[in-house]
Amino acid sequence: MPAPAVKKIIERAAPTALPTLKRAADTAFKFFRLSIRLAPSPTQGLQHQLEGIANGYNPIMVGGNSLSQEEAQMLVSALKELGGFVSDPATGKYVLVDMDTVLRLIRDIMMAISLEMNVASANAIRTAGEEKSLPNQGTVDGGIPNAPPVDAGKQGKHVEGHPNNISEKSQWKDGETGVRETQKGWVEGQTARGNTRVWDTGRVVGKNGETGVRVHKDSRGNIHGYPVNPDKYLSPPPR
């Protein structure tokens, strides 16, 4: 597993920057690993590039063993924070530490980025899937901050095609589960009778033209919701 310091760097980075840093780490790892096996070293140019950036200038590099300026700067920043550079007593300039340490740090960076990107991908797939389909039981999350989880079994009573569906109850629009609307209704809705919250979405969410969501919370802290006419529950605004 990557060291905690490496994980902190990756978690702090912008998600859009991770692919660039990963490319830099992959390329550097490949060339630096070769430098241990081959002589003369095929990585002298890459080492010169990284040390140059670490010392405040960007050497012009030619050939396949160098990185783009953006890639090199991101990798240097990470390695500096992790102790991948030391100050040369003779010149006072930054130089890379021993190659074994550099390889270990770069490998940790690669692993941490892969883990972070896999988690982000899994969360994106899970959130997207929950909006299009609903499990028979258990809880789901629509990605609304500070909202309780949604009880899939109870929510399914209002979702056409779900095993628990009861056609006599109000129904979400075709192809929708109402998970996000339910969570948002709990966070943004007004308290209504029967210990519920009602939220006027301002758009049609129900099969019969309903624009509101009524949300119940059970003893376990889970919620479920269904389309309603918000005027039936919400007090009219003061004149």
DSSP 46-96: HHHHHHHHHTT------STT---HHHHHHHHHHHHHTT-EEE-TTT--EEE
Q: What is the per-residue pLDDT for 37?
A: 53
Q: What is the per-residue pLDDT for 125?
A: 41
Q: What is the per-residue pLDDT for 172?
A: 96
Q: What is the pLDDT of residues 127-146, one digit of tens each?
A: 444 445 788 889 999 889 99
Q: What is the per-residue pLDDT for 36?
A: 57
Contact between residue 61 and residue 45 where contact means Cβ atoms under 8 Å apart: yes
Picking from 209, 214, 219, 213, the residue whose alpha carbon sits closest to that of residue 201 is 213
- Which residues are bridge partners to 215 per DSSP? 197, 225
Residue with tokens 């609307």: 181
Q: What is the per-residue pLDDT for 4?
A: 78
> Which 3 state secondary structure label does DSSP give 161?
coil
**How far is residue 165's CA from residue 152's CA, in Å, rounded to a whole number?**
11
pLDDT in tens, the chain (239 residues): 557 788 788 778 777 788 888 888 888 888 887 765 544 444 467 888 899 999 998 776 655 556 888 888 999 999 999 999 999 999 999 999 988 899 999 999 988 888 777 666 555 444 444 445 788 889 999 889 999 999 999 999 999 989 999 999 999 998 899 999 999 999 999 998 877 999 999 999 999 999 999 999 999 999 999 999 998 888 665 55
Q: Which two tokens stand for residue 143?
A: 């990605």
| pLDDT, mean over the chain | 84
Q: What is the per-residue pLDDT for 5?
A: 82
List the Cα angle 14/15/20 in 5-degree steps: 90
Burial (CB < 10 A; 0-12, 13-18, 19+), residue 33, is: middle
Side-chain-facing half-sphere of 102: CA atoms under 13 Å: 25
Residue with tokens 């200038």: 57
- Beta strand residue intervals within the chain, DSSP E: 85-87, 94-96, 139-140, 150-151, 190-192, 196-200, 212-217, 223-228
Q: What is the per-residue pLDDT for 68?
A: 84
Contact between residue 67 and residue 77 where contact means Cβ atoms under 8 Å apart: no
Q: How far is CA 3 from the centre of its chain?
A: 20
Residue with tokens 């953006």: 70
Q: What is the per-residue pLDDT for 128?
A: 42
Q: What is the per-residue pLDDT for 57?
A: 86
Q: What is the pLDDT of residues 163-202, one digit of tens each?
A: 999 999 999 998 899 999 999 999 999 998 877 999 999 9
Q: What is the per-residue pLDDT for 129?
A: 44
